[in-house]
Amino acid sequence: MNRSSLSRPARLLCAAGIAVVLAACQGRHDTAAAPQQADASPAPASAAPPVSLIPLPASVEHGEGRFDLTAATPLLAEGEGARTVATQFATLLAKGFAVEPALADGTGVAGAIRFAIDPARAGAGAESYLLEVAPEGVTVSAGDAAGLFYGAMTLLQLAAADDAGAVTLPAVRIEDAPRFGWRGFMMDPSRHFWSVDQVKQVIDAMALHKLNTLHWHLTDDQGWRVEIKRYPKLTEVGGCRVPAGDGGIEPSTGEPRQYCGFYTQDQVREIVAYAAARHITVVPEINQPGHATAAIAAYPELGSTDRKLVPSSEWGVFPNLFNTEESTIAFLEDVIGELIPLFPGTYFHVGGDEAVKDQWEASPRVQERMREVGAKTEMEMQSHIVARLEKFLAAHGKRLVGWDEILEGPMPPEATVMSWRGIEGGLKAAREGHDVVMSPSSDLYLDYLQTSSPDEPPGRPATIPMKQVYDFEPVPAALEEGQRHHILGLQANMWTEHTRTFERLQHNVFPRLAAVAETGWTPQARKDYAGFVQRLPAQLERYRRWGIGYAQTPFQVDATAEDDRKAGTAIVTLANPLGYEVRYTNDGSEPTATSALYAAPVPVTLPAALRAAAFADGKALAAPRTFVYDAASMLSRTDEQLATCPDAGRLLLRLEDDGPADGERAIFNTTIFYPCWQWNGADLEGVASVKVRAGRIPYYFQLAHDEPARRFEPARSAHGELDIHAGGCGGERIASVPLPAAPGADGFVDVVAPLAEELAGRHDLCLRFTGDTRPAMWVLDRATLQLR
C-alpha cells in the first residue's frame, strides 16, 4: 500500500515529555565534564581507561598495567567444564577482534589465561567467579561452570583494541556474584514467529548480559508453536493464521495468505541444548485456560463455545477458554507430559492470565462441572485446574509457575507467581509464602515504546524509557524482611503483537535489556543510573562487534519547537532521551564533536534546518537527525506531534498499516478506545480549511469486558465524517467533511474540512472520525492548516 513512513519528513515531537528529559539532560551536563569511574573503586593514574562493564560487578579493584592478548596467548583449562568455557571465550573473542587464542596444555599462568573450576570457591555462591588480570597472566576461577562462564563474559567485556590494534585487558581484580537467581527474558513466538536461528541470537545476547532464564511463550490465541506428536492438529491448524486486512491477502492471486510457524521437538531440543551451553534455562509456557483460541481451533472439543474458531488475527483479550472436562485436563497433561522431557529445567509455566469467564458462566456443562468439583466461582474452577496441573508437574519433579491471576483463587503452596499487573500480586504472593518473579508491565514490558521519536517501530505506549527500566526494584520496600527470599528475581517480557521483524524485536529489547541485566545481577547498593549511562556507549560497541541490533532512538536527538507564524520564527528545544550531550549545526553540515553544544532552546528564523546528534567521549552515538522549520512545517502536524484527546483514555497504540504484504508500512499513533487527536494552540489566523491525510487500518482488537468502553461517535452520513472542534472535543464544531467509503490505492485519503467561519487566535483543535467502520478504522496521519 504505502511507504509514507519512510518518506515522511523529520518530525517534531510532543513537548511535555521532552521538557522533562531536557531538564535531566542539563542536569547531567554539570557532571559530564568530569566523568566518574565506571565503578566506585578509584583507579590508579597509570591504569588502563576505566572499565565499562555491564552488568556492573559486585567488586572491582583496579591494578597496575595491562595484559596483552594475542593469538599466541595460551588458554589453560583443566577438565571438560573449564575447557568448554575457554573455547567459548576464544570463539566470542574472535567474533569481536581478529584474535583467536587456542587451548594449550600446562598449568603455569605466566603469559596465559587460565580457566579453573575450583571447588574451594563453591562457598562464594552459585554463578559467582573471581577474575584476576595482571600483566603477567590472567586467572578466571569459579565454583561452578556457570560462574566460570560469567567470568569469561566479563573478561570478554574487558578486552579492548588499542590504537595499534593490539587487544589488551586492564589489570583488575573482580569478585562477582549475582543478586538474583532468576534473571529472565520472555520471548513470544505466538504472535509473530521467530526462527531457530533468531532464538539462538537472543540466547547469545542473553548470555553476554549474564541472564539465565528464557521464558518461551509457546502458545496463544494467534498460534500454537510447538510440535505435540499426540495432537498434530495443534500445529497443522493452530500453527497458522491469516493476518488481518491486506496483510492476509496474497497480492498475486487475491487468495488468503497464511502466516505459519512452529518448532519441531528436535528444534526444541536443539534450542534448549544451545541455551544450556550458555547457562540459560528455558522455561516453556503452555497458556490455559485463556489465550487458547489456536488450540481450540485445532480441537474444537477442547473449547467452551459452539462457535467455530480459527487462530486469531486479532490482538487483545479473547473470551475463548478451554472447557473444564476431565478429558481437557488430560489433554493438558498429555501436552505437558510430552514437553517435560524436552525441558530439563525446574519450572513449567501454565499461563493463567486474562481468562475472562463469560463462556464458563454461560455454559451449563461448566456450571455442572463446578458443582462436581466443589468450585463456588469460575475462578475456583480455574484454580482446580491449576492445582491438578501442579500435582502433575510435581509428580514429574517440576514446579509450576503462572501469571499473577492464579492468585485470585486458592493456589497450591508450591506455585510460583509471575507478577505482571504491577508488583502487588508479587507482594501478596510473597507474603503468602510463594516464590515470585517480578515482571510488571509498568516497567519491564519491552514491547512498550522507549522514546517519543517518530522512528520508533509499532508498539504499546505508555513509554518505558531506559531510566524507568533501570530503576525498577524487584524487592518491594513494603515486603517484610523474612519474606524477601521469595523474590526469585525479575524478567523482561517482549510481546510481539506489533513486532513483525527481528530487527524491530532487537530494537525494542536492546539496550533496555542491559538495564534489566544490571538490576538482576548487580548488588542494589552498587546500582547507579548515571554510571550505567556512561558505560552504555561501550556496550553499544560490543553490540556492533557481536552483531546485536539495538535501538538507535535513545541515542538520537529529539526536537520540539514553539513557532510563531506571523513573526516567521521558532524556538527549538533539543534533547537526547538519555541525557547525552547534544551538538548541532544550522548550515546543513554534519554535527561533529566541535559543533555548537546545545545548552538552551535555539531561536531560529524561517526557513531553517538544524542537524543534531548526541555525543559521548567525542563520538556521535547515532546518525544525526535533521529538523526543518519553514512555512509549510508550521502549518502541519503529524499524528506523533499531536496530543491525544484528554478523554481518549487508555491504550494509545503505535499501529502499523496492513499493507504492503511485505516491506515497509506506515505507522500511526492512535488511541483505540476513542481515536481522537488534539492540536493544542493551533493558530487559526487566516485559516480557511483543515486538510487531513487519513489512513485506514484493520480494527483488529478483542477488548473483552472493556468492549463497551469503545466509543463510536454517531455518523451523520453514509460513511461518517471527519469532525473538527475548537476548544477541545467539548467545544464548538468548526468544520466537518464526509468521509469516502474507502481510501485510495495507496491506503490514504486527503479530506479537506472548510471552516464554517474565520477564527482568530490560537485554539485547541479536536480532530476525530465519526461512525463505526469496523472491521477497519480511520487513523490520522497528518493535519494541515490551509490559508485563505
Minimum distance from CB of 404 to ligand ACM (Å)? 8
Whether residue 694 contacts residue 749, with contact meaning beta carbons closer than 8 Å, is answered with yes
Alpha helix segments (H runs only) across 241-351: 265-276, 293-298, 326-339
The set of cell numbers assigned to 405 is 491471576
Minimum distance from CB of 210 to ligand ACM (Å)? 25
**Nearer residue to ligand ACM within complex by CB, 402 or 465:** 402
Minimum distance from CB of 277 to ligand ACM (Å)? 29
**Nearer residue to ligand ACM within complex by CB, 118 or 447:** 447
Minimum distance from CB of 90 to ligand ACM (Å)? 40
E strand map for 633-741: 636-638, 643-644, 652-656, 667-671, 676-683, 687-698, 701-703, 721-726, 733-738
Return the residues of window 435-454 that contact ligand ACM according to CB under 6 A. 441
Whether residue 781 contacts residue 638, with contact meaning beta carbons closer than 8 Å, is answered with yes
**Nearer residue to ligand ACM within complex by CB, 356 or 777:** 356
Site string for ligand ACM, 190-229 (x = CB under 6 A): ----------------------------------------
**Nearer residue to ligand ACM within complex by CB, 337 or 422:** 422
Whether residue 404 contacts residue 415, with contact meaning beta carbons closer than 8 Å, is answered with no
**Nearer residue to ligand ACM within complex by CB, 73 or 288:** 288
Whether residue 369 contacts residue 389, with contact meaning beta carbons closer than 8 Å, is answered with no
Distance CA 538, CA 518 (A): 15
**Nearer residue to ligand ACM within complex by CB, 216 or 543:** 216
Start-to-end CA span in the chain (Å): 33
Minimum distance from CB of 501 to ligand ACM (Å)? 21
**Nearer residue to ligand ACM within complex by CB, 419 or 453:** 419
Helices 196-208/529-546 angle, 10° precision: 140
Q: Which candidate in 62, 215, 217, 291 is catalytic?
A: 291
**Nearer residue to ligand ACM within complex by CB, 115 or 318:** 318
Distances (CA, A) of 185 to 346, 463, 517, 724: 16, 19, 10, 44
**Nearer residue to ligand ACM within complex by CB, 420 or 521:** 420
DSSP string across 27-69: HHHHHHTSPPPSSSSPPPTTSPSPP--SSPPSEEEEEEEEEEE
| Cis before 511 (ω within 30) | yes
Active site residue 291: yes
Whether residue 494 contacts residue 23, with contact meaning beta carbons closer than 8 Å, is answered with no
The residue of the chain with the least Cβ separation from ligand ACM equals: 353
Minimum distance from CB of 784 to ligand ACM (Å)? 38
Minimum distance from CB of 329 to ligand ACM (Å)? 22
Active site residue 434: no
Minimum distance from CB of 459 to ligand ACM (Å)? 14
What's the distance, CA 211 to chain centroid? 16
Q: Which candidate in 144, 220, 221, 447 is catalytic?
A: 220
Minimum distance from CB of 441 to ligand ACM (Å)? 6
Active site residue 354: yes
Determine which residue in the list 150, 360, 403, 627 makes contact with ligand ACM, applying CB under 6 A. Answer: 403
Angle, CA 354 vertex, CA 712 and CA 360 arms, to 5°: 95
Whether residue 43 contacts residue 65, with contact meaning beta carbons closer than 8 Å, is answered with no
Return the residues of window 409-438 that contact ligand ACM according to CB under 6 A. 420
Instruction: Spell out the SS3 assignment of 64-117.
Output: EEEEEECCCCCEEECHHHHHHHHHHHHHHHHHHCCCCCCEECCCCCCCCEEEEE
Total of chain residues touching ligand ACM, rule CB under 6 A: 5
Distances (CA, A) of 45 to 127, 155, 591, 732: 32, 22, 33, 69
Q: Under the criterion CB under 6 A, does residue 647 sit at the interface with ligand ACM?
A: no
Distances (CA, A) of 158 to 233, 541, 542: 50, 12, 11
Strand pairing of 701-703 and 315-317? parallel
Distance CA 285, CA 350 (A): 6
Q: Which candidate in 61, 325, 354, 664 is catalytic?
A: 354
Return the residues of window 328-357 that contact ligand ACM according to CB under 6 A. 353-354
**Nearer residue to ligand ACM within complex by CB, 275 or 444:** 444
Distance CA 754, CA 689 (A): 4
Minimum distance from CB of 420 to ligand ACM (Å)? 4
- The residues carrying an active-site annotation are 220, 291, 354
Which residues sit at the interface with ligand ACM, rule CB under 6 A? 353-354, 403, 420, 441
